[in-house]
Structure 1
C-alpha cells in the first residue's frame, strides 16, 4: 500500500513533520509512505493560476498515484495553517486528486489539548464539495505536549501512544482497502449471447435453414464444399476430406465445434448417439445453440461462452458424474482463436479419464491411498467446494448444467 503524508506546516521545524517521519519509518512494513512538504506552495490566488506549476502538479500526481493520504496538521488560532489551506485550495480549483481519496488526519501540538479544533476544521474542508475526500471517520490522533513526546532520535517515547497510533493506522489501512475497492470501476457487463445465432459472421452459410435435419448436405451444396477424395491443405499437411473425417473420428474423445456466432457446426460422428458420453444426432449440426439446450440451461451456456469469448478463461473443465462409478467423464470447453487471437468458437472435447488413470497406475506401480482422496487431483472427495479436475467452484454456473452437455445440450441419458 502506498500512502502520501502531507506536513501541514511550512515552518523550518515542525512536530507534525516529526510525527509523519516517525509514522513512515516505524510502520514501513505495513505501507510505504512518502512525506511531502508544503514549503514552496504559493498562496492560493485564482487570478494567478498556478495549477500547472511544478509544485502543484507534484502534489497532484503523487496523490493521484497513492492509495491514501495522511495529513498532519498543527493548530494556529484554532484552525489549520494558511499554507495547508492553500494547497487544498489548489487541489480543488481545477484539479481534484483528493476526490474520493481516503484521508486520515493526525496532529501534534505544544499543548495538552492537541489539535482537536484544527482537525475538526480540516475535516470539514476536506469533505466540502470540490475537495470530496473520504476522511477516515470516528478516529482522532491528538499528540499533545509534543515538545515532550519525542526522544533524542525523534521517536515517540510513550509505548501506549505508539500502540494506539499503530492500531489507528491498521484501521486506516483497512479503510483504504475498502474505499478503493468500492471506487474501483465496475467491470463491464458482458453483452448477452445470441444463442439463436441470428447474426452472421464471415463463415456463416446463408440461405440454409439452421433447423433443417439435412443442414450439412444443404450447406455443403450451397458453398460447393470439398468432400470425399478432394484434398484440403492444412497448416502442416494435405489430407483428403475422407482422411480428415477418419482422423477426427479416431480421436479417443468426443469433439464438438460451435462457432463465434453460436451455431453448432460439427461433431465427430464416431458412435451412435446412444453410445456417446454426450449424445448427438446428425440432425443437430447447423442448429443454433439455443436449440441444442433446454431453455432452463441457457444462462449457464451464456456464462461459459462469455468466459471464453472475453478471455477470462481459456478452458473450463467439469466432471459429469452421471455415468456411474466405472467412468470419470470430463467435459472441457476450450476457446478457439485465430492467428491474431480473435475468438472464433468453442472446441468441446469430452473423454473418460478413468482408463488413462488406470493405465498410469499400472505403469508406475502406484496405488490410490485413502478412501477420501480423489484419484485425479488428490482433492478431498467430500469437499463440496472444489471440482476434482479443474478446481472450479461447485457454484460455478457451468455446474448447474448437471447431466446436460453445456455446448450441445444433449441429455446424458438420451
Structure 2
C-alpha cells in the first residue's frame, strides 16, 4: 500500500480540545508514513431517520469524505462515561440509510485523553461496541487511555518526551493495522 489516507475524527467541539491537540500531535509522529486529514463533524446536522430518503447534503459530503479514506482514527473525550453526542451523531448519520453506510469495512483506531486517571476508557469501550456494529475492524492493542498531563503535548504541538515512545509505537501499530486490513470496498 502506498501512503494510506487516514481520516481523523475528534469527538469534541471545544475550541481548546485536548483531544484535538493530541490528534494533531499524533499525526506529527508518522507524517512521513501517511496522509492525515481531520474530518470536521461539528457542522453536521442532527441525524433524523425521517430524512433517510432525502439525506442532507452535509451528510452526503461527509459520507463521501469517509469513503475516500483507507482508515479512520477516532480521538475522543469521554462525556458521562460514554461517547460525546457530537461523535454519536456523526456515526449515526454516516451509517444511514440502512445498508448504505460509509463506515463499512474501514479499519479504525481508538484513542483519547482526559485529565482523570482512567482517561477515556469507558467512552472507548462504548465506541468499540458501536464500531463492531458498523463493521469497522478496530485495532484492539495497544489500548490508548492517555491521561492528560502537562507536557503530553509541548508548546510546539509535539508529543512530549515522557509519552513519545509509547505513542509513536501506538501510531506505528495503527498504521500496520490499516495496512493489514485494507478497506473493503462496497
- Equivalents in 2 of 1:28, 1:148: separation in Å? 21
Displacement of 1:160: 4.2
- Equivalents in 1 of 2:40, 2:114: separation in Å? 18
- Equivalents in 2 of 1:51, 1:66: separation in Å? 24
Instruction: Tell me if 1:115 matches 2:117.
Output: no
Which of the pair has the greater relative contact order for Cα pairs under 8 Å at 6+ separation?
A: 2
Q: Answer yes or no: is the 8 Å Cα contact 2:77–2:113 preserved in 1.
A: yes
What is the TM-score with the length of structure 1 in the denominator?
0.41
List per-residue Cα deviations over 1:111-148 (Å, max 9, x = no partner).
222111100110001111xx111111222112212455
Instruction: Report the structure, 1 or 2, having the larger helix content.
Output: 2
What is the TM-score with the length of structure 2 in the denominator?
0.88
Instruction: Tell me if 1:134 matches 2:155.
Output: no
Q: Answer yes or no: is the 8 Å Cα contact 1:111–1:146 preserved in 2.
A: no
The number of aligned residues is 181
Rg comparison, structure with higher value: 1
Q: Please give the secondary structure, in 1, of the residue aligned with 2:24.
A: helix
Displacement of 1:100: 1.1
Q: Please give the secondary structure, in 2, of the residue aligned with 1:127.
A: helix
**Aligned pairs (5 A) from 1:304-315:** none
Instruction: Tell me if 1:75 matches 2:78.
Output: yes
Displacement of 1:90: 0.6
Q: Which runs of 5+ in 2 are unaligned?
A: none
Displacement of 1:155: 2.2
Instruction: Tell me if 1:149 matches 2:149.
Output: no
Structure 2 equivalent of residue 288 of structure 1: none
- Equivalents in 1 of 2:54, 2:91: separation in Å? 12
Q: Please give the secondary structure, in 2, of the residue aligned with 1:151.
A: coil
CA shift in 2, pair 1:10/1:184, >3 Å: closer
Match of 2:172 among 170, 173, 176: 170
Structure 2 equivalent of residue 38 of structure 1: 41
**Aligned pairs (5 A) from 1:320-335:** none
Structure 1 equivalent of residue 30 of structure 2: 27
CA shift in 2, pair 1:120/1:50, >3 Å: farther
- Equivalents in 2 of 1:103, 1:51: separation in Å? 28
Structure 2 equivalent of residue 57 of structure 1: 60
Q: Please give the secondary structure, in 1, of the residue aligned with 2:23.
A: helix
Q: Please give the secondary structure, in 2, of the residue aligned with 1:124.
A: helix
- Equivalents in 1 of 2:101, 2:108: separation in Å? 14
- Equivalents in 2 of 1:146, 1:47: separation in Å? 44
List per-residue Cα deviations over 1:181-223 (Å, max 9, x = no partner).
7x479xxxxxxxxxxxxxxxxxxxxxxxxxxxxxxxxxxxxxx
Q: Which runs of 5+ in 1 are unaligned?
A: 186-414
Calculate the aligned-residue CA RMSD, in Å: 2.1
**Aligned pairs (5 A) from 1:386-401:** none
Match of 1:10 among 10, 13, 19: 13
List per-residue Cα deviations over 1:347-384 (Å, max 9, x = no partner).
xxxxxxxxxxxxxxxxxxxxxxxxxxxxxxxxxxxxxx
- Equivalents in 1 of 2:53, 2:31: separation in Å? 33
